[in-house]
Structure 1
Amino acid sequence: MDGGTVMSWLALVERELLLFAGVFFLIGTLDELLVDGLWSWLRLSGRAPRLSLDRTEVRARRLGGRAAVFIPAWHEDAVIAHTLQHALASWPHDDFVIYVGVYRNDMKTLEAAMRGAGMDRRVRLVVHDCDGPSTKADCLNRLYRAMEVDEQRMRAPHRMVVLHDAEDMVDPAALALLDKALDRAEFVQLPVVPLPQHGRRWLGSHYCEEFAEAHGKTMVVRDWLGTCLPAAGVGCALARDMLRRIAVAGGGTPFAVDSLTEDYELGMRMQQFGGRSRFLPVRGEDGSLIATRAYFPARLDEAVRQKARWVHGIALQGWDRLGWAADGERRGRGWLHRLAEGWMRLRDRRGPLAALVLACGYGFFLLSGVLMLIGQLGLARPWQTDPLLSALVTVNLLAFAWRAVWRAGFTACEHGWGQGLLAVLRIPVTNVIAIMAGRRAFVAYCHTLAGGRPRWEKTRHDRHPAAQPLPEVPLVARVSLADLPFDVPANIALGSSQ
């Protein structure tokens, strides 16, 4: 094969990559422009007003009933104590209980949870009767059964169930706000705010702009459209009666153990059970969101694993398990709502295609660079850019600039203009992670199609934003016999894990 033939093939590949990536980038741009337009109209028309509350007043509000907070934990000894310590200090209410799910072969997490709880009776440690890790959904189901035992014993049902992760820093006003919002809904989601990480500004902080735009814009549009709202798995609350209905339909347990994103699926099934969903972007007196805050993974492999699980569970499993229409739509919803629901589910499931398009886009730029270098040696491209391709490239460059401005704006609103500028500079980092996560998710999905079981890959957490020195307290926790796989007194004391 001579040099001219090689150049012809390379030029053909370059042109096809440009066409494929350019056309799909343009389709994605039109999709985002529609969301941008709806959000702008909602803000300008007052249909999505900026809501604000005084945290002190909301925090002091008495809950309308008992609340249960579920926190599953596996190898979370670095953060769980700080999470409990901060939540107990932030929420002054007496009528809530934090159920912490730990495993019998994870003594470090159990001891850390006991240190964080101290002697506070608002914490229940639930020891799973199997070796970990199982799945997050399985651990949540264990917590649900423990709550049912408590309700039967106390003859006092809970009003709501709140979901959190072991690394979360809760907002002081969150519990009372969720309780109040459940007066008019069965599922409520508060925003999630990843925190910038000093010294980890490229990988650990790239989640900031993604959640700022998703929860600052897209979720607002979804809430107004009345489509199903995905649960983030943290900072969300479900009415107890609704969770009971879901559990009955699931054979006694509400969380799907064969789903990698059981929280997302739970939120999307609300309409199926006649539930109303709300997203509440409410700000405190200082202008900051009443939200769940946390540090997200700061290592490349961990970020890729986490996002691959999201893509696998939401895009690929979601297609199989949830379909394209909410069951509630089949009971009289109009065609416009069905169209909106299909649109939002399509956006949720674009991850694998987006990864492919991004890979083709970066492949085009790399190949173009190689051909430019070869051109310096006297070998010209066998094809020249025509007006249509030039227009496609120009439109996509303008669209990239438009998206960068929006991303920078939403990030700056939550984290300041320094992070807003970094959000633009981090776009290549975000895209590379998306490509790697999409490939990993697709391989994992093919494994399940061949008969394998979905693998739950836990995210490691080593830092907590509210970390403080823990008080020296005895390792004593009040644990019901019903929650333990072995026979011990109701009040147990543990020393070293040796």
Structure 2
Amino acid sequence: MVLGSFTIAEWLVLVQHELLLFAAAFFLLGLVDELALDCTYFWYRITGRIRTPRLRHGHGDDISSLAGRAAVFIPTWQEADVIGPTLAHMLGAWRQEELTVYVGCYRNDDATMASVLAAVRGDRRVRLVIHGADGPTSKADCLNRLYAALVKDEKRSGVEARMVILHDAEDMVDPAALSLLDRALWHAHFVQLPVLALPQRHSPWIGSHYSDEFAESHAKVLVVRDALGAAIPGAGVGCAVARGSLAALAREEGGHPFAAESLTEDYELGLRIAQAGGKGRFLRVRDEDGRLIATRAFFPSRLDAAIRQKTRWMHGIALQGWDRLGWGHTPVDLWMLLRDRRGPVAAILLVVAYALVGLITLNLGLQMMNIIELPPLSPLLLMLLAINFAGLLLRLCLRACFTAREYGWRQGLLAIPRTLVSNIVAVMAGRRALSAYIGTLRGAPLMWDKTEHREHPVLSLFGENRL
């Protein structure tokens, strides 16, 4: 069949060449970005600007004392399966009397409220806050309800909290994290600790691909961001904000410090504090045994749940973010915001790349049947392909190394094929995020499209008898 002056086979060859050139050029831009970050990281490591200190309990590093009152906010919606282990472990790990844990539940979520009451066993440090509306509204709305409860308690007692810490219902906190955050806020207004997405035996591909992403992001990307003095975004868990900074945000927003119209209010929190002149820090510290002081959690183990979660991240960070937060005030902030918001573009490039794999396979088959003759690639295209291939090998190697450092060499090796899982989830989430963003532009309401949690790391690592 002839279309215009070309046969279908010739059109296939032409499309393959143009897509190859397009993909190679744009992947090269991404490679330059990653190489710049890698070079910055390794240079700072060599020169000592980036290091991971260790706590020395015998040298003044007391993990039991706090300089003031600490409030922990945990918003929930249908978290009956995990909120109990979270609270039981948190109250055992953080025994400071200056701690108050605010758990937000909706009035139509009896199961979660029952789990909270059963887990705390009368511990006066836990405050169950009932939302006056049926759930779910939004995570930020639930957080704002917790903030209102904190303000009310402060007025009643006459004592103001020194810091507010954010956690999710499925988190496993580190015993040293509370005092570490408390001390860090002497020199900062917002502090973020690393998050470790634990590998999952029953989900070695979907659930465990988060392990690779967080291991690299929270050991390299955020570390470089902190060293460069860029604004530090919140991860929603393991982050603390100075009480005065939260109050300042609340005054600007009519008493509501968390952006109810945002899907990623935690991410925005750190950036908004930086925009207001506050200082953010990312702290990567190990204890005496070399264990990373971090928040540990299981992430979605099913494909549909992983896609929903990453859709919300991409929608809120990449699509809402440019409109809500702008592009920063310094070249470093601009660079980091561009990295944060490249998700939809990366998803498009991945679609092109996988389409090319199929197209090249088809054309090679047609050439073997002597239907078409593939022309030789130009020197420019060959060079671009060679550079991109070398860059891909480097990316896979570094991801494997960062994963292996936290979880062992077996998980490090699995990180290489799990990159394919990351790409598939990113492509599917990118399509959904764009569709959802267009819907909100047309007036669709924002809903708390939360992830269901069925298992808790405390039960898997220690067993129920340790709670």
- Taking structure 1 as the reference length, the TM-score comes to 0.90
Give the match for residue 144 of structure 1. Answer: 147
Give the match for residue 464 of structure 2. Answer: 469
Determine the C-alpha separation between the residues in 1 that align with 2:130 and 2:353: 49
Query: Which amino acid letter does the alignment assign opposite residue 53 of structure 2?
Result: L
Query: Which amino acid letter does the alignment assign opposite residue 107 of structure 1?
Result: D
Which residue among 347, 350, 353 is the counterpart of 1:355?
347
Q: Deviations over 1:355-393 (max 9, x none)?
A: 001110111011101111222221124533111111111
Which residue among 113, 116, 135 is the counterpart of 1:113?
116
Give the match for residue 22 of structure 1. Answer: 24
Please state whether the residue corresponding to 2:458 is helix, strand or coil: coil
Question: Is 1:416 aligned to residue 411 of structure 2?
Answer: no
Q: Closer, same or farther in 2 for the Cα pair 1:428/1:133, shift >3 Å?
A: same
Give the match for residue 486 of structure 1. Answer: none
Give the match for residue 232 of structure 1. Answer: 235
Q: Closer, same or farther in 2 for the Cα pair 1:249/1:466, shift >3 Å?
A: same
Q: Closer, same or farther in 2 for the Cα pair 1:58/1:130, shift >3 Å?
A: farther
Task: Name which of structure 1's ranges 14-23 and 197-206 shifts more when overlaid on structure 2.
Answer: 14-23
Give the match for residue 48 of structure 1. Answer: 50
Contact persistence 1:7–1:381 (CA under 8 A): no
Please state whether the residue corresponding to 1:94 is helix, strand or coil: coil
Give the match for residue 196 of structure 2. Answer: 193
Give the match for residue 343 of structure 1. Answer: 335
Determine the C-alpha separation between the residues in 2 that align with 1:18 and 1:285: 51
What is the RMSD of the two structures over their aligned residues, measured on CA atoms? 1.6
Give the match for residue 369 of structure 1. Answer: 361
Q: Deviations over 1:56-103 (max 9, x none)?
A: 975643100000000000010010000000000101211110000001
Determine the C-alpha separation between the residues in 2 that align with 1:108 and 1:197: 26
Give the match for residue 283 of structure 1. Answer: 286
Determine the C-alpha separation between the residues in 1 that align with 2:464 and 2:214: 30
Q: Deviations over 1:175-212 (max 9, x none)?
A: 00000000100100000000000121100000011111
Contact persistence 1:309–1:456 (CA under 8 A): no
Determine the C-alpha separation between the residues in 1 that align with 2:63 and 2:194: 21
Unaligned runs of 5+ in 2: none
How far residue 456 of structure 1 moved from its aligned partner, in angstroms, is: 2.9
Q: 1:303-318 counterparts in 2 under 5 A?
A: 303-318=306-321
How far residue 2 of structure 1 moved from its aligned partner, in angstroms, is: 4.2
Contact persistence 2:286–2:293 (CA under 8 A): yes
Aligned length: 461
Query: Which amino acid letter does the alignment assign opposite residue 465 of structure 1?
Result: P
Determine the C-alpha separation between the residues in 1 that align with 2:117 and 2:145: 19
How far residue 453 of structure 1 moved from its aligned partner, in angstroms, is: 2.3
Give the match for residue 460 of structure 1. Answer: 452
Q: 1:287-298 counterparts in 2 under 5 A?
A: 287-298=290-301
Give the match for residue 427 of structure 2. Answer: 435
Question: Identical aligned pairs, as a percentage?
Answer: 53
Determine the C-alpha separation between the residues in 1 that align with 2:27 and 2:87: 44
Give the match for residue 216 of structure 2. Answer: 213
Determine the C-alpha separation between the residues in 1 that align with 2:172 and 2:265: 21
Unaligned runs of 5+ in 1: 330-337, 473-498
Please state whether the residue corresponding to 2:464 is helix, strand or coil: coil
How far residue 437 of structure 1 moved from its aligned partner, in angstroms, is: 0.7
Give the match for residue 155 of structure 1. Answer: 158
How far residue 55 of structure 1 moved from its aligned partner, in angstroms, is: 6.6
Determine the C-alpha separation between the residues in 2 that align with 1:296 and 1:59: 31
Give the match for residue 223 of structure 1. Answer: 226
Give the match for residue 64 of structure 1. Answer: 67
Which residue among 176, 179, 197 is the counterpart of 1:176?
179
Q: Deviations over 1:305-332 (max 9, x none)?
A: 100100100011001101112xxx4xxx
Determine the C-alpha separation between the residues in 2 that align with 1:260 and 1:150: 28
Q: Deviations over 1:141-190 (max 9, x none)?
A: 00000011100111100000000000000000000000000010010000
Query: Which amino acid letter does the alignment assign opposite residue 291 of structure 1?
Result: A
